[in-house]
């Protein structure tokens, strides 16, 4: 299995010691810091705040992405772009004009990501695939950590993996991603994994040991 992108979900980090968490993850070799923004409307929860985003962005030179689980995400592209975010994910399900939002992201010279819920079919977003850099498939219903992985989503992941060569996006997954799922999904063409409590945070092994294992597939 080729080297995979490991993206810690910072919603699961220890916020009482955020600076140390970022520095340790950075040294462990993670690829992208993943930040969740929720509005209590598109999903029934509230996520990280602007101050959290600012702090994490200042603490690392690694890529930082933002996952906008909010209504009307296009209205916030400029705000997060100006904060130094590198990759902006939004949900086409929450956006009446997703191509306009994609254009806004590109004009700010940021990478474009779309995220799709477990119940969203590929046909809904297929016309967007030539325009994007990343597609992130949610393998849980978005909004809360600690949920169970939804196995039925894997048929959609396999189909999106088969379409990569036509559109040149990177395929990501997010939600209850365990060590086993990193191995299995990596074998079918997933490029990157958002990891939280199922694979990274709160484990006995160090971040460095876990990240190294997941990136190479050794012993997973």
Q: Active-site residue among 36, 52, 65, 191?
A: 36
Q: Active-site residue among 52, 65, 95, 174?
A: 174
The verdict on whether 39 is a catalytic residue reads no
Q: How far apart are the first and last CA of the chain?
A: 11
CA 39 from chain centre, in angstroms, equals 17
CA distance 97 to 144: 26
Q: If you write DSSP's letter for every residue of 73-140 in order, what string do you get? A: GGGGHHHHHHTT-SEEEE-GGG-S-HHHHHHHHHHTT-EEEEEE-TT--HHHHGGGGGG-SEEEEESS
Answer yes or no: are the C-beta atoms of 73 and 94 closer than 8 Å.
Answer: yes
The verdict on whether 65 is a catalytic residue reads no
SS3 (DSSP) at 220: coil
Enumerate the active-site residues.
Answer: 36, 174
């Amino acid at each position: 299995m080729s080297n995979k992108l490991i993206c810690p979900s910072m919603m699961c980090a220890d916020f009482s010691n955020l600076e140390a968490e970022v520095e340790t993850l950075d040294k462990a070799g993670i690829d992208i810091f993943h930040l969740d923004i929720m509005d209590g409307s598109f999903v029934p929860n509230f996520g990280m705040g602007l101050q959290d985003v600012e702090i994490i962005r200042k603490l690392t030179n690694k890529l930082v992405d933002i996952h906008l689980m909010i209504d009307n995400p296009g209205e916030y592209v400029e705000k997060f772009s100006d904060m130094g975010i590198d990759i902006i994910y939004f949900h086409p399900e929450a956006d009446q004009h997703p191509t306009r939002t994609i254009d806004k992201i590109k004009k700010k010279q940021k990478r474009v990501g779309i995220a799709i819920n477990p119940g969203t079919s590929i046909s809904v977003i297929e016309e967007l695939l030539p325009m994007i850099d990343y597609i992130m498939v949610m393998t849980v219903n978005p909004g809360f950590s600690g949920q169970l992985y939804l196995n039925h989503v894997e048929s959609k992941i396999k189909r999106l993996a088969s379409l990569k060569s036509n559109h040149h996006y990177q395929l990501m997954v997010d939600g209850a991603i365990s060590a086993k799922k990193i191995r299995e999904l990596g074998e079918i063409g997933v490029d990157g994994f958002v990891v939280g409590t199922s694979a990274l945070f709160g484990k006995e092994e160090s971040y460095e040991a876990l990240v190294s294992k997941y990136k190479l597939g050794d012993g997973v």
